[in-house]
Amino acid sequence: MNDEKIIGIDPGLDTIGWGILRKCGQNLSLEDCGIVKTSSRLPLEARLEKIYRQILNLISTHQPSECAIEEIYLTKKTPTHSNTLQARGVILLACKTSGLPIYPYNPGTIKKTVTGSGKAAKYHVQKFVQLRLNLKKLPVPDDAADALAAALCHLQISTINRKIEEYKKKLMLRREEKKKEFARVLKKAIKSK
């Protein structure tokens, strides 16, 4: 049975959302989710180190096989955005040093894949995550829900990509079989002359 465990991450500097989903065959379940918080009173380097260590700890504890992470969309460059990008960088480093394949998705793709609308509001993302995972309550905080949405998005897209690859392999096999059959018929035709 195909068993996958995905960590979804919603990056940030103040609050990082994370969620662990397990897919076993057709069954999908929430293993755990939460947030990593850093205090704005700490120096940037200390905050980045905390994020790095916490993500490493989550990976070590839950042993995911892949990471789905939300890309950061910036409309203008400010020091705050720069710090957020640095936080995302240490998250990527933690995943990479842990040997996890990393799959980035932009927020619009995540929302479109999970809710059907690339411009869905936070509440709608939470509601669709709740429904998809059969949760009794909305996943909170919304950072954790966003991380779960990233993981759901990845599972859906990777499933489609696997099916496409399987179809391509079948087409290639058929093509090879037809080539062999053509060569056999041609060889037989040449011998009969």
User: What amino acid positions are annotated as catalytic residues?
Assistant: 10, 70, 143
Q: Are strands 3-10 and 15-24 parallel, antiparallel or unpaired?
A: antiparallel
The closest alpha carbon to 120, from 90, 145, 93, 86, belongs to: 145
- The encoded tokens of residue 90 equal 């240490």
CA atoms of 104 and 71, how far apart (whole Å): 6
Residue 63 DSSP one-character state: -
Q: Which residues are paired to 68 by β-bridges?
A: 8, 103
